[in-house]
Amino acid sequence: MSTTRGARARAREEVTAAIKDEARRQLAAEGAAKLSLRAVARELGMVSSALYRYFPSRDDLLTALIIDAYDSIGKAAEQADAALLKKAAKSADSKAGAIAPVRRWVTVSEAVRAWALAHPHEYALIYGSPVPGYTAPMTTVPAASRIGLLFFGIVRDAYQGRGIAEPPLPEELRPEAERLGADLAPDLPPAVVAALVAAWAQLFGLIGFELFGQFNRVVEDRATFFTHAATQLAHGVGLVLPRE
């Protein structure tokens, strides 16, 4: 009995993966707005009613693709950070340790960019134009939060460790910064949280400009440009020692 259930579960996983793969091919060819369950079923040699047993609607399929994309880019960022920390743990260079927060920020940023360049259509699905008629459900939030939580974690580790250089906070921004701080990271100064949110948005703006063609005939050495810009964003949130 259990063997039969296991075989059925594996078969369902295989069909689900095939549906998602075909849907991703359609995303690349037609864009998310034109994703069609009937077209996916036709390409897979399935009747539409059979596919609906896996994804009852186009929105359900889109949600699955969105969660997969967020999890994939989040995993890439987390693995890059973990690899850097593992390497740093083996180093006896105390000076390198002092700049570790900036290195972590830039390393994670570069991993996000690398994933985006390797998966442009999936990146467009989660960070590009909204899909007409689709509203992402709350089930996408945990996956969507992974990169943000990682950046907040890097700043939190620095703040609780050797300290950060708290950025200036204009008085007119203080109420909003305090609200953001209370909602997102009450253990960090409001000025840092506000700077973090701005840097987060700017980072994805940089990637979007490169991916969607706004840097064409403007920036040529894009990898070097991106690393420099990501480093400046790290400094903007205070990831420098106060006396550096």
CA dist 40 to 7, 30, 83, 129, 181, Å? 24, 12, 38, 22, 44
Joined together, the tokens standing for residue 233 give: 């964003």
Instruction: State mean pLDDT over 207-223.
Output: 94
Q: Is residue 3 very low, low, confident or very high in pLDDT (cuts 50, 70, 90)?
A: low
Instruction: State mean pLDDT over 195-217.
Output: 95
pLDDT attached to residue 244? 42
Instruction: State mean pLDDT over 203-228.
Output: 95
pLDDT digits (tens, 9 = 90+) for 21-52: 999 999 898 888 889 899 999 999 988 888 99
> At a CB cut-off of 8 Å and minimum separation 6, what does 100 contact?
84, 88
Share of the chain above pLDDT 90, in %: 75
Joined together, the tokens standing for residue 188 give: 């960090």
Whole-structure pTM value? 0.90
CA dist 159 to 73, 120, 233, 238, 239, Å? 26, 34, 16, 9, 9
Instruction: State mean pLDDT over 7-18.
Output: 85
> At a CB cut-off of 8 Å and minimum separation 6, what does 88 contact?
96, 97, 100, 103
pLDDT digits (tens, 9 = 90+) for 116-151: 999 999 999 999 888 999 999 999 999 999 999 999
Looking at the chain, list the stretches that DSSP marks H as alpha helix, in order from N- to C-terminal side: 2-30, 37-44, 48-51, 58-89, 94-98, 100-118, 120-127, 141-144, 146-160, 174-184, 190-211, 222-236
The full set of domains in the chain, from first to last, is: 1-56 (1.10.10), 58-236 (1.10.357.10)
